[in-house]
Structure 1
Amino acid sequence: MDLILIRHPEVAVDAGICYGQSDVPLRRDVRDLASMLSARMEELNAPVCIDGWHTSPLQRCASIAHALGANAHIDARLAEMHFGAWEGCAWDTIDRALIDAWAADIEHARPHGGESFAQFARRVIAWFEAACVDQQAVHVIAHAGVMRVLASHLLGIARENALQWPLDFGAIAWFRRVRGQWLLVRWNA
């Protein structure tokens, strides 16, 4: 089985803003972006999407899935982590003590009042376990957090480690299950 994850392209939000589940638009024309993503998938010789793209309901992902011309399987479990009161705030305006409290217990702390990282991960993994059963290939337009949770889950590494991996806007991550074991084919491609 192949699992192809594509992070949504750049959003029309100023740098340094926490936008988690805020429904923000893409910075560029969605048709152009979809065309570029299709070409990159072809260059990488990635499996062709047959059964439609799985996607978050947030427009920065769902609009790409629709523009790719495929049937879109919209699932709220694929939405980015909810940052509660921090949504829409500049990171440098959030009380440093609250950010430090969150960093001290990244799995369970929720000083923002939204989801803990553990709650978010359970939601994403529940999607994976439901959607990726007996499939040849699953294609997903995702958020960075979703991709990192799935990477840590599939590869059996600590989530805190996967949070450190670079992941560009529009990046492709490709996983393949071979004889029951998940392998990373591409990261940030």
Structure 2
Amino acid sequence: MDLVLIRHPAVGIDAGICYGQSDVPLAYDVAGSARVLDQRMRALKVPACVGAWHTSPLQRCALLADALGASHADPRLMEIDFGAWEGRAWDDIDRALLDAWAGDLEHARAHGGESLAQFSARVGRWFDETCRDGDAPVHVVTHAGVIRVLTARLIEARPASVLQWTLDHGGIVWLRRTRGEWFLVRWNA
């Protein structure tokens, strides 16, 4: 089974804003982004999508998924909920709160939203329902956080490590299950 995870294109808001579950617009034409992405996937020989694209319901993902073909939105594929930090500049958030969150990344909820553990469990429920037993390729347009927690889970890496890996807007992450074990085929392609 192949699991193809695509981070949404760049968003049309100021840099440095915390926008987890905020429904922010795309910065560029979605049709152009879909064409470029389709060309990259073909060049990488990514398996074709069978059925609908899975997507976060937030417009920055759903618009791209729709442009790539039929899509199925699932709220479990939304980015982490940053609670009171949503829409605020990272630089404006109290440094002590950020440090407390970083000090216990797995369980802290200094922002009042989801902890990493809660977020991972939500995304894991989507995976268990959608991908656990199937063999057909699954294609997803989602957020960097979703991609990182799924990758960490599947390749059995520490989430804190995978959270540090660069993942560009429009980046492709391709995972493959072979004989019950998951392998990372491409990261940020």
In which range does the TM-score fall when normalised by the shorter chain? over 0.9
Alignment partner, residue 123 of structure 1: 122
**Cα distance in 2, alignment partners of residues 52 and 96 from structure 1:** 42
The answer to whether 1:134 aligns with 2:134 is: yes
Alignment partner, residue 109 of structure 1: 108
SS of aligned partner of 2:17: coil
Once the two structures are TM-superposed, the CA of residue 136 in structure 1 deviates from its matched residue by: 1.4
Alignment partner, residue 23 of structure 1: 23
The C-alpha deviation readout for 1:129-155, integer Å capped at 9, x for no partner, is 101132310000010000000010000
SS of aligned partner of 2:121: helix
Alignment partner, residue 47 of structure 1: 47
Q: Which stretch shifts more, 2-11 or 126-135?
A: 126-135
Alignment partner, residue 84 of structure 1: 83
Q: CA RMSD in A?
A: 0.6
The C-alpha deviation readout for 1:4-61, integer Å capped at 9, x for no partner, is 0000010001110000000001100011111111011000000011211000000000
Stretches of structure 1 lacking an aligned partner (at least 5 in a row): none
Once the two structures are TM-superposed, the CA of residue 73 in structure 1 deviates from its matched residue by: 1.1
**Cα distance in 2, alignment partners of residues 13 and 80 from structure 1:** 16
For the 8 Å contact 2:50–2:136, the answer to whether it is kept is no
Runs of 4+ in 1 over 6 A off after TM superposition: none
SS of aligned partner of 2:50: coil
**Cα distance in 1, alignment partners of residues 36 and 9 from structure 2:** 10
Aligned length: 188
